[in-house]
């Protein structure tokens, strides 16, 4: 098979790359190869609406399969690329078929990281729709659950399981949920949200073993009908290594145009270590929205355009009924100032050693979130603003 653009992956970066190539005037044949069983779909709801049973799989797709056909994009589902020769521009499929291409976008994403303890295979992990279906099915029968990890997926899933009526305990090596990323003050607020939803949060705890009946945490055994591990992810960079592309920190090194170190090869999303033109450095980003943005840049560049990744990475997370919005370079801060507003709303302003903004987190303070991109991009100082009412009050 001979194509102009080969897209490897089934997430938002892959979806955006294929469409951006067409939108950018690309007229050649496009092949999107995905290991998933359905067309590219929304992953954030898997730990929220879908897990709670409020939305079904049909409501997750980014576009119906017919939309790809209409735009001349061939979807190859339940298939994988097993080898990639970027110098010859040839990919080998798991069927043995060879695909030659002019440009290739690696949008292979990341995989959940297993916990390195005895019995790790007894736990469930959440990344794909199939994972989510199995987790939701088990949740309908379970009465108790342990969620290991206090990242955003761990917090979202813990709150969702509690809202399904399960007795949930969340275990994390962090003292506070997201304390390392967002600071102690915001971490305490997130812990409060979880506890209000009925989640018991056990911080500073080390998992020693997972059994079919529960989790050994220190000297205590926590019985559980269901164990979910959400302890981080590993970028899926094996194909990039096979191809001989430059890889650092387990990610494909790309410039602000998503171009890798080999001609015709681009990468976007979780698997990319991309240079951000506004930040002036490479950033590790694992946000759904940013994967979509990067994919759009890669597709436009593959079509001959000159698109650039220069946005401030941002995302939303829903923990129960509460939404936290975050826009930041994401590679550290020196200080944080919290502005409290009415009704529990707040804004966290993150600054570097020189007092310049590197990030903003908000809850029910949309005015501050809406200006976060501009302020962080300009390395502005945090504005002095009076307390404001919570959104909608």
Shared domain check, 201 and 276: no
Looking at the structure of the chain, the number of domains it has is: 3
Q: Output the pTM of the full model.
A: 0.92
Shared domain check, 237 and 107: yes
CA 44 to CA 243: how far, in whole Å?
Answer: 30
Of 203, 229, 255, which closes a domain? 229
Shared domain check, 363 and 218: no
pLDDT of residue 385: 61
Give the mean model confidence (pLDDT) for residues 120-130: 95
Give the mean model confidence (pLDDT) for residues 185-192: 97
CA 284 to CA 330: how far, in whole Å?
Answer: 8
Does residue 360 lie in a domain region? yes
Any idea how long the chain is? 393
- DSSP per-residue letters across 66-125: HHHHHTTEEEEES--EEEEETTTTEEEETTS-EEEEEEEEE---EEEPPPSSTTGGGSB-
pLDDT reading at 299 higher than 80: yes
CA 339 to CA 187: how far, in whole Å?
Answer: 15
Shared domain check, 59 and 162: no
pLDDT reading at 390 higher than 80: no
Does residue 148 lie in a domain region? yes
- DSSP per-residue letters across 203-248: -S--EEEEETTEEEETTEEEE-SEEEE---EEE--HHHHHHT--EE
Does residue 320 lie in a domain region? no
Cβ neighbour number for residue 218 with a 10 Å cutoff: 12
Does residue 59 lie in a domain region? yes
Give the mean model confidence (pLDDT) for residues 172-198: 96
Burial class (CB in 10 A: 0-12, 13-18, 19+), 83: middle
Shared domain check, 292 and 337: no
CA 290 to CA 240: how far, in whole Å?
Answer: 20
Does residue 38 lie in a domain region? yes
Residue 352: which domain range? Answer: 332-377
pLDDT reading at 315 higher than 60: yes
pLDDT reading at 389 higher than 50: no
Written as six digits, the tokens of 341 are: 């507003």
Mean pLDDT of the chain: 94
pLDDT reading at 285 higher than 70: yes
Shared domain check, 93 and 9: yes
CA 148 to CA 339: how far, in whole Å?
Answer: 31
Q: In which element (H, E) is residue 153 found?
A: helix 152-163
């Amino acid at each position: 098979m001979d194509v102009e653009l080969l897209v490897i992956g089934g997430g938002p970066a892959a979806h955006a790359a294929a469409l951006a190539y067409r939108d950018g005037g690309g007229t050649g044949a496009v092949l999107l190869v995905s290991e998933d069983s359905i067309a590219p779909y929304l992953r954030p709801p898997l730990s929220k609406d879908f897990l709670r049973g409020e939305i079904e799989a049909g409501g997750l797709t980014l576009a119906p399969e017919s939309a790809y056909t209409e735009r001349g994009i061939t979807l190859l589902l339940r298939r994988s690329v097993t080898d990639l020769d970027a110098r010859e521009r040839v990919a080998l499929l798991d069927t043995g078929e060879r695909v030659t291409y002019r440009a290739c976008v690696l949008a292979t994403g990341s995989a959940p990281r297993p916990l390195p303890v005895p019995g790790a295979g007894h736990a469930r992990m959440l990344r794909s729709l199939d994972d989510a279906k199995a987790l939701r099915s088990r949740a309908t029968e379970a009465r108790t659950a342990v969620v290991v990890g206090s990242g955003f997926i761990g917090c979202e899933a813990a709150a969702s399981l509690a809202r399904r009526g399960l007795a949930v305990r969340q275990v994390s090596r962090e003292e506070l949920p997201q304390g390392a990323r967002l600071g102690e003050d915001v971490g305490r607020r997130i812990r409060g949200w979880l506890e209000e939803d009925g989640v018991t949060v056990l911080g500073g705890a080390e998992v020693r073993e997972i059994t079919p009946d529960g989790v050994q945490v220190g000297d205590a055994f926590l019985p559980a009908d269901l164990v979910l591990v959400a302890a981080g992810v590993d970028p899926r960079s094996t194909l990039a290594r096979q191809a001989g592309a430059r890889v650092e920190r387990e990610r494909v090194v790309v410039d602000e145009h998503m171009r890798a170190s080999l001609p015709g090869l681009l990468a976007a999303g979780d698997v990319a270590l991309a240079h951000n033109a506004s930040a002036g450095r490479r950033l590790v980003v694992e946000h759904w929205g940013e994967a979509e943005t990067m994919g759009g840049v890669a597709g436009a560049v593959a079509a001959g355009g000159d698109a650039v990744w220069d946005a401030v990475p941002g995302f939303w997370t829903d923990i129960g009924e509460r939404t936290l919005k975050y826009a930041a370079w994401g590679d550290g801060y020196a200080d944080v100032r919290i502005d409290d507003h009415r009704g529990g709303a707040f804004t966290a302003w993150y600054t570097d050693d020189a007092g310049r903004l590197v990030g903003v987190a908000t809850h029910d303070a949309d005015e501050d979130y809406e200006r976060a991109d501009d302020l962080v991009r300009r390395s502005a100082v945090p504005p002095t603003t009076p307390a404001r009412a919570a959104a909608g009050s």
